[in-house]
Structure 1
Amino acid sequence: MSATLLAVLLSLLSAVAYAAAAVSQERLAARTGDSGMRRLLSTGSWWGAVSLNSGGALLHVAALKFGSLTLVQPLGALTLVAAVPLGARMAHRRVARVEWRGTLLTLIGLSALMVTATGPAPEERLSFQEALLVAAASSCLIAMLCRGRRPGLRFATASGIASGLGSALTQTVTVAVTDDGASPLDLKVITVAVLVAGFAAGSLLLAQTAFRYGLGAPLAVVTLSNPIAAAAIGVTLLGERFAGGPLGLLLALLGALLAGRGVFLLARAAHPEPRSTTVLSYVPSQAGPLRQPPPLALEQPPLDGAPSQLPDEAAARLPGTPPERRVG
């Protein structure tokens, strides 16, 4: 089995694990809401989601050993593709037609990305100084994203960036230990490993916060921001390139657009907003139809030029008109 095929297989298994974790986190967020970290840590569902995320992370690390960042990270979009049927099954409903259409577009776009991103196993890795610089810059960006409006999308973007950076740092540690012969007890290796653990935990907590606002849109943003962050690091710092030259780059952009369209179709269909069926209408009064006021009965006719008086019942219907005293 080639290294590329093995990386794809491991990425698929990782996506399924991440999808199950996302569905579990979303259902947990719907039950607990903003209940605090202490209650969250005492919930068995939380640790189940942590276990699924850990399994997905281990499979992801193995995939990065055999494939480049530009190949492995786009396959993370399959997390949303798997989460849609899993979420539908947990909600006891059928998958909608728009969800299947989004799945097809996502798979076509990912196929285009895979064709242009295929290449040998990674040889370059971030230096220790580059790892610290990227970690510091990403931490500042994540802190900025944690403030402002649209918290669901902001926290999801921050989670995706943290996850993408964690993948790049994970690949750095893996290549350094397995290929470059670095000792696992080396201070630089331990430092980068601690950064990996920190960004992984941060990504998990940020995603849990984002899932308070639903599953589809936050998961779509996580799915897109993750490979964008990792690919930016791979292309700018690791020298990774798309195969095929300018034509390959154009195909990759087209695939990214198709995958993005499919992802957002899935995001919109994952939790459709309930449509209001309330119709505003005139409801007649329980008193029935308006009755004609009774004829005015006076003992003496009114004087010429004097305003005529209405009975109390009729006068009460005129806004701002106090009831007149009865005559007689």
Structure 2
Amino acid sequence: MARADIAALLALAAAVFVAAGDVLHQRRAQQAGEHHDSYLTLALRLLRDRGWWVGSAVSAVGFALQAAALGLGSVLLVQALLVTALLFALPLNAWAAHRRVSRSEWVWAVLLAASVAVIITVGNPTAGHARAPWETWTVVVAVLLPVLLVCAAAGSRADGPVAAVLLGLVSGALWGVFAVLTKGVVSRLGDGLWAVLGSPELYVWAVVAVGGTAYQQFSFRAGSLTASLPTMTIAEPVVASVLGVVVLGESLRPGDSGWFALVVAAAVMVVATAALARGEAADSDG
């Protein structure tokens, strides 16, 4: 079996565990306190919550599978497949809430997954480098950090689905950066423990993981899964894919006739995400 095929299977397995962990985290964040509680209060309550730690353990398995996939395949391939976590999360969340997934939710979720399949098959993503120089990362920070700060500030002042989407964007973007850094960390494993410990990516990777987890919980607390998770699910692969191309030199090879299909697939991803979030807003108003 080719390395890319193994990476794809590992990424799909990671999506299952990430979805289960997200559902557990979202339910614990919703039950941890009132919406007017501060982020610090929420974080302290979750750290004392056994159910939240169970969700963290499940998510950790997903992250390990994701790291293994990134060690074998491109960021473009692995992160695109992780979007399918939404297909697993919707029925899991519905089962936990003792309700059925609505027909519209399924339609939009399936369209979301179909657009991912198009991007993978038509885009034909290729691997690049495992690491990038710090000068490149400096430019990334200068561009990305102000955007995340604005979203975080606006999300902290908003309520309901709007807050869930804005904070989910921050979390998803951080997890996208995390994925690219993971590829760099994994690439050093073959050089031994000291090489990994001496890698700057390791320490930035840990900080980004903490930030991604924190804003994920804040987004989960702000709204239900159909508002927060779709936003994270799209933001992570978009940011990771852009960084994969710009920072690691990965590429898509759709051919002259394939670019139109890629543009359509990307548009479907955005529309499906917006539709799921809008559905949450309607449920909240009802």
Return the TM-score normalized by structure 2: 0.86
1:232-272 per-position Cα deviation (integer Å, ceiling 9, x unaligned): 11112222211133433322222222233334444445685
Aligned to 2:114: 108
1:207 matched to 2:207: no
Aligned to 2:248: 238
1:72 matched to 2:78: yes
Question: How much has 1:177 moved relative to structure 2?
Answer: 4.0
Secondary structure of residue in 2 paired with 1:168: helix
1:198 matched to 2:207: yes
Aligned to 2:261: 251
Secondary structure of residue in 1 paired with 2:93: helix
Aligned mates of 1:10, 1:218 — CA distance in 2: 24
Gaps of 5+ in 1: 277-328
Aligned mates of 2:88, 2:182 — CA distance in 1: 24
Question: How much has 1:36 moved relative to structure 2?
Answer: 3.2
Whichever structure has more helix as a proportion of its residues is 2
Aligned mates of 2:65, 2:136 — CA distance in 1: 25
Question: For residues 179-328 of structure 1, what are the structure 2 equivalents within 5 Å?
Answer: 181=191, 183-186=192-195, 189-212=198-221, 213-269=223-279, 273=283, 276=286
Larger Rg: 1
Query: Any conservation in 2 of the 1:170–1:196 contact (CA below 8 Å)?
Result: yes
Gaps of 5+ in 2: none
Aligned mates of 2:95, 2:59 — CA distance in 1: 20
- Opposite residue 32 of structure 2, the aligned amino acid is T
Secondary structure of residue in 2 paired with 1:204: helix
Aligned mates of 2:92, 2:281 — CA distance in 1: 13
Aligned to 1:164: 176
- Opposite residue 262 of structure 1, the aligned amino acid is A
Aligned mates of 2:249, 2:138 — CA distance in 1: 18
Aligned mates of 1:65, 1:122 — CA distance in 2: 12
- Opposite residue 170 of structure 2, the aligned amino acid is A
Query: Any conservation in 1 of the 2:23–2:89 contact (CA below 8 Å)?
Result: yes
Aligned to 1:145: 151
Q: Measured at CA, do residues 265 and 145 of structure 1 come closer, stay the same or move farther in structure 2, by a change above 3 Å?
A: closer
Q: 2:47 aligns with which of 35, 41, 44?
A: 41
1:17-72 per-position Cα deviation (integer Å, ceiling 9, x unaligned): 11111111221122113343322211101111211221111111111111111111
Question: How much has 1:187 moved relative to structure 2?
Answer: 7.9
Question: How much has 1:171 moved relative to structure 2?
Answer: 0.8
Aligned mates of 1:274, 1:169 — CA distance in 2: 37
Aligned mates of 1:81, 1:114 — CA distance in 2: 17
Q: 2:88 aligns with which of 82, 95, 101?
A: 82
1:62 matched to 2:68: yes
Query: Any conservation in 2 of the 1:216–1:271 contact (CA below 8 Å)?
Result: no
Identity %: 28
RMSD value, Cα: 2.4
Aligned to 2:167: 155
Question: How much has 1:145 moved relative to structure 2?
Answer: 2.1
- Opposite residue 10 of structure 1, the aligned amino acid is L
More off after superposition, 193-202 vs 102-111: 102-111
1:100-146 per-position Cα deviation (integer Å, ceiling 9, x unaligned): 21232122211101113434554453124434553565444333321
- Opposite residue 4 of structure 1, the aligned amino acid is A
Aligned mates of 1:139, 1:10 — CA distance in 2: 30
